[in-house]
Amino acid sequence: MILTVATRSGQGQNSGFTRARCYKPCAMSSAAAVTSGPVRIDVVDLCDRYDGFLLDAYGVLIDGHGALPGAAEFLAELARRGRPYLIVTNDASRRRETNAARLRGFGLDVAPEQILSSGHLIAPYFAAHGLAGARCFVLGTDDSRSLVAEAGGLVCDIDPAGVYDAVVACDDAGFPFLEGLNAALSAVFRAFDEGRAPHLVLPNPDLVYPAGGGNYGFTSGAIALLLEDALARRYPDRRPVFTRLGKPYRPLFDEAARRLSGKLVMIGDQLETDIAGARAAGIDAALLLTGVTRRPEPSGAADEVVPTYILDRLAD
């Protein structure tokens, strides 16, 4: 069941948002929302309730073509209110400087230090596993390869006959797709056949993303699933899997909580990554319906992921 929240009247009247209708006094706390089911809310009420904002990129602020409706106005409103925010994205195809420049090109005023991406989890992983100088097979862009190199990895050419210490699946773009996947498959099969166990690293666990114009695309999480399924068939007793770094896992949320103070909320478009990860980290989460996940129906399952809020759109 989705509850409709009653919101305060008059809030945000002088803000960058304009209300199309009047709102009733707020009568429900976010704690009640967690126990009762998701509460439908609007962006003005979210701005009133929280001190800091964690924002997914694809499906929330942008798609593959540009900024989504209301995104620029929402960021401007957060700035006007002095509410800090971070773009918490699984995108491992761009360094934060590249990402910020791209967002600014879409009309979104974002600085590099406001971007927290899964690509920046590669370095801590490499450090924790002693991978300095490791020979790396990178599926991704030039920026992906740069992130792996900065983490200490030795980025090698894609070669089905190559010998690698790590396979890092960052993105679906930036390499010859089928040739790259086949080379990764061949190299990984050979490694396990020879008794080696290369690190399999997946910064971006997303399966799909909104490509714009009503179209969707597969991304690195889907690539990892393909390789894992092939590995499970060849090594059914071992079933090697990728280590997933980005949302829904904790590191990005913990880092965001370290950088921002006060009461935080995550706004995301994917239930399994943005919402599940935030809720597991103890952060309220608003599911925005402009991206991948459609309006969820309650399943009653014990492990059901329940957003704190349902947000129909950023544009008010």
Residue with Cβ nearer Mg ion (156 or 286): 286
Residue with Cβ nearer Mg ion (233 or 294): 294
Residue with Cβ nearer Mg ion (34 or 211): 211
Report the alpha-carbon distance of residue 87 to residue 75 in Å, rounded: 11
**248 preceded by cis ω (within 30°)?**
yes
Residue 220 has which token pair? 């690195």
Residue with Cβ nearer Mg ion (3 or 211): 211
Report the alpha-carbon distance of residue 268 to residue 56 in Å, rounded: 5
Nearest distance from residue 5's CB to Mg ion, in Å?
Answer: 23
Nearest distance from residue 272's CB to Mg ion, in Å?
Answer: 11
Nearest distance from residue 268's CB to Mg ion, in Å?
Answer: 6
Q: Where are the beta strands (DSSP E) in 15-155?
A: 39-41, 52-55, 85-89, 115-117, 135-139, 154-155
Residue with Cβ nearer Mg ion (266 or 306): 266
Residue with Cβ nearer Mg ion (56 or 165): 56
Nearest distance from residue 293's CB to Mg ion, in Å?
Answer: 9
Nearest distance from residue 189's CB to Mg ion, in Å?
Answer: 32
- For 55, residues 6+ apart whose C-beta sits below 8 A from its C-beta are 61, 85, 86, 87, 88, 266, 267, 268
Report the alpha-carbon distance of residue 150 to residue 154 in Å, rounded: 9
Nearest distance from residue 310's CB to Mg ion, in Å?
Answer: 16
Helix (H, G, I), strand (E, B) or coil at 281: coil
Query: What is the distance in angstroms between the CA of the first residue and the CA of the last residue of the chain?
Result: 23
Nearest distance from residue 53's CB to Mg ion, in Å?
Answer: 15
Report the alpha-carbon distance of residue 158 to residue 60 in Å, rounded: 33
Q: Are 161 and 188 in contact (CB under 8 A)?
A: no
> Burial code of 23-62, b = ≥16 C-beta within 10 A, e = fewer?
beebeeebeebbeeebbbbbbbbbbebbebbbbbbbbbbb
Report the alpha-carbon distance of residue 89 to residue 84 in Å, rounded: 16
Residue with Cβ nearer Mg ion (87 or 187): 87
Shortest-Cβ-distance residue relative to Mg ion: 59
Q: Is 202 exposed, middle or buried (0-12, 13-18, 19+ CB in 10 A)?
A: buried
Binding-site ranges for Mg ion (CB under 5 A): 56, 58-59, 269
Residue with Cβ nearer Mg ion (58 or 126): 58
Nearest distance from residue 152's CB to Mg ion, in Å?
Answer: 29
